[in-house]
Chains A and B, each alone.
Chain A
Amino acid sequence: MKLTLKIWRQPSQNVKGKFETYSLDNVSEHMSFLEMLDVLNEKLSFEQKVPIAFEHDCREGICGTCSLVINGQPHGPLQGTTTCQLHMRNFKDGETIVIEPYRASAFPVLKDLSVDRGALDRIIQAGGFISVSTGQAQDANAIPIEKDVASHAFDAATCIGCGACVAACPNSSAMLFTSAKVAHLALLPQGKVEAQKRVLNMVRQMDLENFGNCSNITACEAECPKGISVSNIALMNREFLSASFSSNDAN
């Protein structure tokens, strides 16, 4: 197939960017989207031009490194699919594809299509853990956990930290990401002990990082490649409210 690509080029964080247009022939429908970009980059290299910077690693939808907004959608048109798992058979011959970085003030563009998502790490550092040091654990089967509860916690724990929810949200809110971790840990007996402190600290960090507020648009859920449910946001709100009433300080 033959494609026209409009790709955001930005030399660095403090320099203004703009779209550049490229055309690419001989794209196989079996290629993944990122392999298509590899081919373009190899071509640019061959023409002694600077290749396009984009982020990726596992290329199997699990590391959360790939990003991209493709034709206006984070991770492209296919539901439940990361950019790296998207294949060219989902596009039409002759199509023009617009590729841009995530847009959110908490995710500054570093170069071309790469953005800085360090804010998500700092939210986890604020409380997204259970405080147990190595060697302190009791036998793993000492606390039975109901299969359904474990499975529910698991669903929340599958978040890959890609940030598509933020990019999808008109307010650039990180509620889906944050609530997924809050829910994962709050649902498990091991995580309940610190639940109040955790939610207060994580929400506070989220606000400090300049993410927007949630206004229940649920675009995050629609674009999340892992199908993280907005019901986690409801759970987090409940946890937050009850924690705010019963605890006067978090740290």
Chain B
Amino acid sequence: MVAIRTENLTKIYIRKHLFSSKKTNALENLNLEIEDRKVFGLLGLNGSGKTTLLKLLVGLLFPTKGSVYIFEQKFPHLSLLSRIGYLPEFPCFLMYLTASEILHFYGKLYGLSTKEREKKVEETLDLVDLKENRNDRLADFSKGMLERIGMAQVLLHDPELLLLDEPTSGLDPLGIKKMRQTILRLKEEGKTILLSSHFVTEVERVCDQVGILHKGKLKRIIKMRGLKVSLEDLFTETVSEAV
């Protein structure tokens, strides 16, 4: 099955100033197909449109043109959102809540019953090693702990599709390793994962397929299995020839 399909997906940001407006073509005619049960890496320089694409896929942005299909259903569609877990680039929470309160709150938004929620919240807190901190306020959390709460809210409702925007940024080496293991384990469980990064080595280690995004255009799709040349070379070649 195709997990994500985009058709001519285009996003133009328009910044209105007093007398003029500035247009940024963040994404241009993107046609992408991502198989389910695969890990797909979006590789691109800063400002290449990775975050824009992920936000379009969760409905935080509306496409200027084109369309998105998720699990072969036209997006946006409310029920699809229950099947997606989204990790923003800079996860930001309601800081006055405790770890367990925020997860309960999110759980309620999926319509989970109290019993289900209690089970799920405990499970996910355990998964991200925050069981001891469950009653601490997020305001007192370190950056790394917040990242882990970020991952907890992704996993809370057991989504089939995970959209992770730079999941390893802000993590220490141990955290990065753990994230890699988590991603691989989720893939084993049959999840589809789309992650963005500008670290070639990270992407190389977990992805089945890599898409190179440059200045809003999908330049190349690379299958990692049986790749003879180094991904780094391919990447630098792609983004420099495109300049």
Chains A and B form a bound pair? no
